[in-house]
Amino acid sequence: MSISWVTVPTPLPSGPLRLAVTEQGVAAVSYHGDAIGGVPGRVGIPECVDESRAGLVRARLAEYFEGRRTELGLPIDWRFTTGPHRTVLQTLTAQAGYGQTLTYGELGARSGVFEDFTDGGWTAARTVGKMMGANPLCLLVPCHRVVASDGLGGFGGGPRGLEIKRWLLTLEGVLPPTLDWNGPG
């Protein structure tokens, strides 16, 4: 099984996106170029030389960022996720459509991996937040559509990462455009 990097230009405040692709699909996505949490052996992964595969990924993402595509429709390789983590991410992918948001607690409830909600959902919400932060499939698994019950919530990478979350939600029409909005529309 081979794995390789594809670099995709984006209008995101973070700049280009880096994706790790395999024969199965996209295995990981990084906003920060070379750092992906939870991806072992990420150093030494070669650039993708299969232009047909890289081209498809770039084309789909380009359309998405132009607002012409609401579903990426890219195959996902779940190899870097396991157990409850994978279940939650797959639940999110299946249930949070374009322009829709749900809360951490809600996702925890829907995923079915948390059985005890007698604490008011505290455990589920906190755990889901942790899972999102450890999500190697940002963007493909729409972790930016998961928000706190009383606001935007957080995002990996701190304040810098939050800009990305805001940008994506603006693209999808969840948030109103800001003055520095450089996306479509």
Partner DNA sequence: TGCAATGCTTGTG
Partner DNA sequence: CACAAGCATTGCA
Catalytic residue set:
143
Question: Is residue 143 at the binding interface for DNA, with CB under 7 A as the rule?
Answer: yes
Stretch that binds DNA, among 11-19, 46-54, 147-155, 172-180 (CB under 7 A): 147-155
Query: Which two structure tokens, joined as six digits, stand for 132?
Result: 């999102």
> Helix-strand-coil percent breakdown of the chain, rounded to 5?
35, 15, 50
**Helical axes 83-95 vs 104-111, angle rounded to 10°:** 110
Question: Is residue 59 at the binding interface for DNA, with CB under 7 A as the rule?
Answer: no
At closest approach, how far in Å is the CB of 145 from DNA? 9
Question: Is residue 13 at the binding interface for DNA, with CB under 7 A as the rule?
Answer: no
Choosing from 28, 155, 167, 168, the residue that interacts with DNA (CB under 7 A) is: 155
Could you give the CA distance from residue 66 to residue 61 in angstroms, rounded to a whole number?
9
Question: Is residue 83 at the binding interface for DNA, with CB under 7 A as the rule?
Answer: yes
Nearest to 21 by CA among 40, 4, 41, 44: 4
What residues numbered 91-120 form the site for DNA, per CB under 7 A?
A: 103-105, 116, 119-120
**Helical axes 104-111 vs 122-133, angle rounded to 10°:** 100
**How many other C-beta atoms lie within 10 A of the C-beta of residue 19?**
24
Stretch that binds DNA, among 18-26, 71-79, 83-91, 175-183 (CB under 7 A): 83-91
Q: Using DSSP, state whether 158 is helix, strand or coil.
A: helix
At closest approach, how far in Å is the CB of 58 from DNA? 23
Q: Which is nearer to DNA, 58 or 129 (CB)?
A: 129
At closest approach, how far in Å is the CB of 79 from DNA? 13
Cβ atoms of 34 and 42 within 8 Å: the answer is yes
Instruction: Please compute, for residue 96, the number of CA atoms within 13 A of its CA located in the half-sphere on the CB side.
Output: 29
Which amino acid, residue 36?
Answer: I
Q: Which is nearer to DNA, 53 or 126 (CB)?
A: 126
At closest approach, how far in Å is the CB of 119 from DNA? 6
Which amino acid, residue 162?
Answer: L
Q: In the complex, which residues of this chain contact DNA (CB under 7 A)?
A: 37-38, 82-85, 103-105, 116, 119-123, 125-127, 129-136, 138, 143-144, 146, 148-150, 153-156, 161
